[in-house]
Amino acid sequence: MQQRTIQKAVEVVGIGLHKGEPIRLRLEPLSVDAGIVFYREDLAMSIPLSPKAVIDTRMATVIGSEKGFISTIEHFLSAIYGYGIDNLRVIVDGNEMPIMDGSAISFCLLLDEAGIAEQEASKRIIRVKRPLEVRDGEKFVRLLPAERATFDFRIDFAHPVIGEQSEQFVFSTQNFVEEIARARTFGFAKDIQYLQSQNLALGASLHNAIGLDDHKVLNPEGLRFDNEFARHKILDAMGDMMVSGSNILAKYESFAGSHRLNFELTSKLLSDSNNYEFVAVESLQSRAFEKSFA
């Protein structure tokens, strides 16, 4: 299997979740082994993707430095994971990614428009060699060695619409598009009101999130999946794992995981070479992982 970039540059304009202002997103091909590189066009500032670039995880995954940052990258990165993109320049003209409809499907459509280009080098992924876990009380995220990339997420919210939910997902590009990519982020009306009073979440609406009051879903169209909340947590986890810079071959498990725990997990993974190895996909004993990108 070869490394991947896109065939042609594409761009789209969407609203930023927090400022509520238009953000222009442009994707451009990059050469072999260049990786995923974010670029703040308004600051002429590049931010190569890695856990070392993460500066905040409180409400989203944020990369950058004191000179500038880009927020809410996880939905976009889940699509990059799903399509197996290795090398890409991601250009924005503001400090956040456009929220689109609150899921990853718009980014999938953008990648479909760009087309996938195979490159003259083998695709290398991170293979997890031993179990790793990060906990916060009952909450945890973990990675386990596996021959297929899978995601198992459980949540438990004291809300009548959510309650206990779970989703078990065996990764493939097709499965991602059909089962995960359309799952939207969600928020509670009382929290949104507070955030907007603090000049945050100014772009949040029922067009880009599932809204909930104390009893029900506020979106007139309802949910896209019965367990859309758990599916979106997998979407987030895939994006957060992609912060490592590569697809990861492992079984991911979580109960009530968060961006912070995911960041701590990828940091822990890459902190010790005994935890992982970079391997060419064609060298794997099982061909299942390679076929998942077909």
Residue 69 half-sphere exposure toward CB, CA atoms < 13 A: 16
CATH 3.30.230.20 residue window(s) in the chain: 2-122
CATH 3.30.1700.10 residue window(s) in the chain: 125-185+220-291
Residue 25: strand pairing partners:
12, 92
Strands (E), 112-244: 116-122, 124-128, 132-136, 139-144, 150-157, 163-170, 186-188, 210-212
What is the pLDDT averaged over residues 147-161?
96
Pairing verdict, β 54-56 and 45-48 = unpaired
**How confident is the model at residue 18, as a pLDDT?**
84
Q: Is the pLDDT of residue 286 over 80?
A: no
232 is known as an active-site residue: no
Is the separation of the CB atoms in 104 and 235 below 8 Å? yes
Q: What burial class does residue 233 get, using C-beta atoms within 10 Å of its C-beta: 0-12 exposed, 13-18 middle, 19+ buried?
A: buried
* Token representation of residue 103: 């899921």
Q: Does domain 125-185+220-291 have CATH number 3.30.1700.10?
A: yes
CATH of domain 2-122: 3.30.230.20
**How confident is the model at residue 163, as a pLDDT?**
96
**Which is catalytic among the residues 18, 75, 232, 259?**
259
pTM of the model: 0.96
Q: What are 12-51's pLDDT values in tens digits?
A: 999 999 888 999 999 999 999 999 999 999 999 999 999 9
Pairing verdict, β 248-249 and 124-128 = parallel
Q: Cα torsion for 261, 266, 269, 272, to the nearest 10°?
A: -110
How does residue 154 score in pLDDT terms, banded at 50, 70 and 90?
very high
Mean pLDDT over all residues of the chain? 96
